[in-house]
Every structure is written in structure tokens, then in C-alpha cells.
């Protein structure tokens, strides 16, 4: 691919979606400050008390746009069998027709942001590049945290690097088909028409109708796992839903461990574990996604391709994950949590005692006796990984770290032992492939 290919693609998307302006993002601090101020002005962000939680914001979504929408997530491979047995498939030609109809004029009255980003350190042999087009400033602010947004990616593309094209629109234009101006909302979305579509053969991602991070931050699940698994299959590596940690023994021997658990089964808590055993230390390299590949010595090297954390807030507290709580003291984006009267955030599980006079995730005064939760069960925190207090000093090693072990796990309250050790690697693959978990998220 080339720079001319990128520019032609941006022009084609602009011709289809019809934005008022095209803005190329560079990931700079100045850009971040400008975007955050715009989000506050639009009502999407509310600035938290800078004395308690500096440079941090709360965002409340539309109540109909609060989570990933698996029923509207599609793998549009040329052959249905290539989509996988548990995924939704639609013929790619049919899906392209539907998407072109939805995206036609979808950005009228809005700016179109072009976000060049890297999954993994820019100079890593395991890094892969992407460019996301979006009409959501919330996505711009969050992608700067979750990925490495930089104009250097454009230079890489100009030098011939491959990249994944990703297109996102909230699906709520500000100018209707008759040319009339439509009032904006603090959380624009189109929940009746959500699409999250991956085209494996062409490496494309299209997302429409949702502003929620799991559907709109296209470097995360869409690229890092769905398209990433296709790239990995074709190129001889693995893209996995795993955490990555370094364990140091009392003898100062270091081991790197990856662990595969479903969502809401403790990846983030294990990634930030504080050992209670004297002399043992656990350090964080990643809490959600691991890319790994064999090197020329036959060893598996692994990286965390992300640059931030997008974690579930409820249940994360001083008693369950003190590292996470300490790491979000500043520079964080909170979504669908509750707020306190003094301008801080709160959610179930953060503290044992419930504060008085909370505002719930919908922006309404909350009554402790209402039978409802103050924070949404899928409320999120988004923060830069370099703020994690347990971060390992080699987390961004370009060559990755050499894996010593892989854990497979889940959430099971009955019937199975807490931990099982495989007899060998072959037996471990069998155990990992057959393990089952209770339903979580």
C-alpha cells in the first residue's frame, strides 16, 4: 500500500459520508486538550474535580448504547465456513450494499477525523498499523489512550507499510436529507441500526450506529482480535484474548506468563495482582490482548499491542484491585459510572461505604433504596497503561518478551478444581480448548 492509497480511501469515505470538514489526527497533547474541551462543550464530557481527579472526565451514554452488540457484529468472509461457527455471517456483497446505504450522508454537519494508529510499539516487528475514520470526538479522545496515535504512522504507510482501514460513524447526521439542521445530543448514536462488520479478506472494519467503546474503538476487539486473528493465521503468529504478566521469584528469577480468560473473569485483576507471598512480585504488561509469534530461536515472543486499559469499573475497588484504583487517579475517562457531590466518581465495589447524594449513570439523583445500581453494570474506565503502578519496565519491549507459561481459565463456582496443571504442552492445548466458563459478559 502507499500514501496515495490512503488519501484516496479518505476521499472516498468523505464523498460517501459527506462531512463538513476532514481533520487528520496526530496524537499530540495539544490535540488532546482541544478534543477534550470540545467534548465538554458538547456535553459529552463532564470535567471531574481537578483537586481529586485531575485531567479526568465522566461521560454518560445513551441508555440504549451501553455495551458491545454481539447480535449486530458480523464476520463477512467470502465463504461462510471461514467466519467461524459462533460468529454471524452475511454475504460480503450484500453487506457492502447495506453499509453504503447507512453511511451515505451519515456525517453531514460533523467533522470527520482520520486517526492513524499503531497496535504495538512503532518499531516492533509484531506491530500492525491501522487508520480509523470517525465522526466521534469521544473516539478520538479514547483512541489516543488505547492505541499509539501518531502522524509517524502516515510516514510508515508512505514507506509502504500495510494498514487496516477502519470506518466508524455514530449514524446521527446533523443535517437531514432536506438540508435542515438537526440538533445534536450529548451522546449521538443510532441504536436501532448498529453494525460492527469485519471483512477478513480485505482487512476492512466498518462500524455504524454506536458510540460505545467496544463498538467504536476499532483498534481493540475489531482489529486486535477479529482482523488480527486473520492476519496472524496468514502470517504465522497468534492474536489472543489474554493478559500478560511478569512474575519474579524470591531468587530473582523472572517468568513471563500469558493467561486466557473470557470477559469479566479476572484478567485485569490477575494482571495487577499484588503478591502476598514474601519475595514474590507480579508486574503488569497487559490485561486484555496478547500478540505472540515464534522467533528464529524457536521461542514464543509476546507483546501487548494496546497502549491503555478499557476496564469494567463495577467490582473494581481497593479490596479487589488496589493497583487499578491507584492507577486511575488522573488522566482517565470514565463512562456510565456514578458521580459524587464533590465531583468524583463512584461505582458499586469501589468502596464498602456508599456515599450520600450520588448522581447515577443516567445523570439523575440516586436513591440507595431504589433497587437500582448507581453505576451501569458495564461502566468503564479508560486510562493510559503507563499510569499503571505495577507496570513492568519491559512492557513495551519491541521484540516482546519470551513466554514461559500460558494459563487458560474462566469463572466456575462448582464441579471443577480451582487449578489444574497439564501433563505437557499437548495436554495443555487440549485442556485450554475444552475448558468452559459460566456466562459472564
Per-residue pLDDT of 367-421, as tens digits, reads 998 999 999 999 999 999 999 999 999 999 999 999 999 999 998 888 889 999 9
Instruction: Please give the Cα distance from 185 to 399 (Å, whole number).
Output: 44
> Of 335, 329, 382, 328, whose CA–CA distance to 361 is shortest?
335
- Greater confidence (246 vs 298) lies with 246
Q: Percentage of the chain with pLDDT > 90?
A: 91
- Greater confidence (177 vs 93) lies with 93
Angle between helices 92-103 and 3-17 (to 10 degrees): 60
Hey, where are the domains in the chain?
A: 3-45+69-236, 239-308+386-434
Active site amino acids: 265
Write down the mean pLDDT value for the chain.
96
- Greater confidence (413 vs 270) lies with 270
- Phi and psi at 255, nearest 5°, equal -130, 140
By the 10 Å C-beta count (0-12 exposed, 13-18 middle, 19+ buried), 136 is classed as buried
Kind of pairing between the strands at 405-408 and 254-260: parallel
Contact 252, 189 (CB under 8 A): no
* Per-residue pLDDT at 439: 78
For residues 75-89, give the mean pLDDT: 96
Instruction: Please give the Cα distance from 259 to 281 (Å, whole number).
Output: 17
The dotted CATH code for 3-45+69-236 is 3.40.449.10
The dotted CATH code for 239-308+386-434 is 3.90.228.20
Q: Percentage of the chain with pLDDT > 70?
A: 99
Question: Cα 50 vs. chain centroid, distance in angstroms?
Answer: 25
* Per-residue pLDDT at 155: 96
> Of 303, 116, 88, 108, whose CA–CA distance to 196 is shortest?
88
Instruction: Please give the Cα distance from 305 to 303 (Å, whole number).
Output: 6
- Greater confidence (315 vs 173) lies with 173
* Per-residue pLDDT at 415: 87
Buried b (16+ CB within 10 A) or exposed e, 183-203: eeebbbbbbeebbbbbbbeeb
* DSSP β-bridge partners for residue 73: 196
- Asked whether residue 441 carries a pLDDT value surpassing 60, the answer given is no
* Per-residue pLDDT at 1: 65
By the 10 Å C-beta count (0-12 exposed, 13-18 middle, 19+ buried), 175 is classed as middle
For the segment 110-135, what is each residue's pLDDT rounded down to a tens digit? 999 999 999 999 999 999 999 999 99
Instruction: Please give the Cα distance from 52 to 185 (Å, whole number).
Output: 28
- Asked whether residue 20 carries a pLDDT value surpassing 70, the answer given is yes
* Per-residue pLDDT at 262: 86
* DSSP β-bridge partners for residue 129: 118, 163
For the segment 145-182, what is each residue's pLDDT rounded down to a tens digit? 999 999 999 999 999 999 999 999 999 999 999 999 99
239-308+386-434 shares the fold of 3-45+69-236: no
For the segment 416-435, what is each residue's pLDDT rounded down to a tens digit? 899 999 999 899 999 999 99
The model's pTM is 0.95
> Of 375, 368, 387, 385, whose CA–CA distance to 350 is shortest?
375
Amino acid at each position: 500500500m502507499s500514501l496515495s492509497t490512503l488519501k484516496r480511501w479518505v476521499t472516498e469515505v468523505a464523498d460517501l459520508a459527506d462531512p463538513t470538514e476532514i481533520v487528520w489526527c496526530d496524537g499530540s497533547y495539544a490535540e488532546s486538550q482541544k478534543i477534550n474541551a470540545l467534548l465538554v462543550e458538547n456535553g459529552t464530557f463532564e470535567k471531574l474535580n481537578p483537586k481529586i481527579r485531575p485531567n479526568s472526565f465522566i461521560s454518560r451514554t445513551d441508555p440504549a448504547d451501553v455495551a458491545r452488540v454481539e447480535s449486530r457484529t458480523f464476520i463477512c468472509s467470502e465463504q461462510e465456513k471461514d467466519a467461524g461457527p459462533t460468529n454471524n455471517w452475511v454475504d460480503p456483497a450484500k453487506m457492502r450494499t447495506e453499509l453504503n446505504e447507512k453511511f451515505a450522508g451519515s456525517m453531514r454537519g460533523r467533522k470527520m477525523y482520520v486517526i492513524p494508529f499503531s497496535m504495538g510499539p512503532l518499531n516492533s516487528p509484531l506491530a500492525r498499523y491501522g487508520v480509523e475514520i470517525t465522526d466521534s470526538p469521544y473516539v478520538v479522545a479514547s483512541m489516543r489512550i488505547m492505541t499509539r496515535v501518531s502522524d509517524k504512522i502516515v510516514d510508515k504507510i508512505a514507506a509502504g507499510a500495510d494498514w487496516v482501514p477502519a470506518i466508524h460513524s455514530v449514524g446521527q447526521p446533523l443535517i437531514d436529507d432536506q438540508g435542515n439542521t438537526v440538533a445534536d445530543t450529548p451522546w449521538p448514536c443510532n441504536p436501532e441500526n448498529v453494525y460492527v462488520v469485519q471483512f477478513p479478506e480485505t482487512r476492512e472494519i466498518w462500524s455504524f450506529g454506536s458510540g460505545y467503546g467496544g463498538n467504536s474503538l476499532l483498534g481493540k476487539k475489531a482489529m486486535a482480535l477479529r482482523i488480527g486473528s486473520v492476519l496472524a493465521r496468514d502470517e504465522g503468529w497468534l492474536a489472543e484474548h489474554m493478559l500478560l504478566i511478569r512474575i519474579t521469584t524470591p531468587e530473582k528469577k523472572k517468568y513471563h506468563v500469558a493467561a486466557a480468560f473470557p470477559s469479566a473473569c479476572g484478567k485485569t485483576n490477575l494482571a495487577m495482582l499484588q503478591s502476598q507471598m514474601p519475595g514474590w512480585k507480579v508486574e503488569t504488561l497487559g490485561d486484555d490482548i496478547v500478540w505472540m509469534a515464534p522467533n528464529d530461536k524457536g521461542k514464543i515472543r509476546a507483546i501487548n499491542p494496546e497502549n491503555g486499559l478499557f476496564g469494567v469499573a463495577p467490582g473494581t475497588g481497593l479490596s479487589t484491585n488496589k493497583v487499578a484504583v491507584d492507577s486511575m487517579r488522573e488522566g482517565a475517562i470514565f463512562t456510565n459510572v456514578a458521580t459524587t457531590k464533590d465531583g468524583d466518581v463512584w461505582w458499586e465495589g469501589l468502596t464498602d461505604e456508599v456515599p450520600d447524594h450520588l448522581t447515577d449513570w443516567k445523570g439523575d439523583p440516586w436513591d440507595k433504596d431504589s433497587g437500582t445500581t448507581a453505576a451501569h453494570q458495564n461502566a468503564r474506565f479508560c486510562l493510559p497503561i503507563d499510569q499503571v503502578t505495577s507496570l513492568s519496565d519491559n512492557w513495551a519491549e519491541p521484540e516482546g518478551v519470551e513466554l514461559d507459561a500460558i494459563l487458560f481459565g474462566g469463572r466456575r463456582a462448582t464441579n471443577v478444581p480451582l487449578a489444574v496443571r497439564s501433563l505437557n504442552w499437548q495436554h495443555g492445548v487440549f485442556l485450554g480448548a475444552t475448558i468452559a466458563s459460566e456466562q459472564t459478559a
